[in-house]
Structure 1
């Protein structure tokens, strides 16, 4: 492991979370969404260079039946240093201790990130299951529209 970096098991603050997501090329999250979601993290890891966060990852879920790996992000200037692997190793250590025998761990892999996740035992679920997403808009509720 690169000794220029250290990891801490701490959920990032809102500004750090938003900056890491944006700079790593992940979709932006509003201040309101981050303020609601971050405190509900089951596990978080940050990678620091000195005192500056340069990477992160989280596990969310209900803590018993379902766990989802999210927010794996490393700043572009720090990519290629094994930090994604370091984040995943920390997350895997948590999962091995926290997930009960019937628990289900999932993630959504964007692009070539699946190459990283397969190194930790994650497998594509298709054709048995396919990931789906619901774009939510506050102004329209199709269930109540006539």
Structure 2
């Protein structure tokens, strides 16, 4: 894993469009994506051989509300622990600034929701979809 580098700088819109496309997500316009990315609270990407192969970010207000967003791993690089590495990094970043009582949430596909439980996220009731992480 030494040849996989974690970086905190925000990716350019073209790199994000490529990653989104690799997992079948809808395309966004470059201006919209550029603005959205610039408003990230935290950002992490994994690079391999000069190319971004995974990313994730934290959005919210930076005080009371935090959301883990846009966790993407290029399918050619899945099952290598890259999602785990990014998630651990971003959770650590949020915990470094969040005060008790802050809300830390995410939305996940049913088949990957369990991945986030090991970081402290818990499933919400069926009438309130999503997951939350109590900050203690």
Larger radius of gyration: 1
Moved more, 28-37 or 52-61: 28-37
Q: Establish whether residue 97 from structure 1 lines up as the match of residue 96 from structure 2.
A: yes
List 4+ stretches of structure 1 deviating above 4 A: none
Aligned length: 130
Q: Secondary structure at the match of 1:33?
A: helix
Gaps of 5+ in 1: 132-146
**2:13 maps to which residue?**
14
Cα deviation for residue 29 of structure 1 reads: 2.0
Let me know the Cα RMSD of the aligned residues.
1.4
TM score, norm. by length of structure 1: 0.83
Structure 2 unaligned regions, length at least 5:
131-136
Report how far residue 16 of structure 1 moved. Answer: 0.6
* CA deviation vs aligned residue, 1:41-98 (integer Å, no higher than 9, x gap): 0000000002210000000000111011001000001001111101111111101102
Give distance in 2, aligned partners of 1:36 and 1:92.
Answer: 23
Q: Specify which structure has the higher proportion of strand.
A: 2
Please say if 1:108 is aligned against 2:107.
yes
* Residues in 2 aligned to 1:75 and 1:17: alpha-carbon distance in whole angstroms: 11
2:62 aligns to what? 63
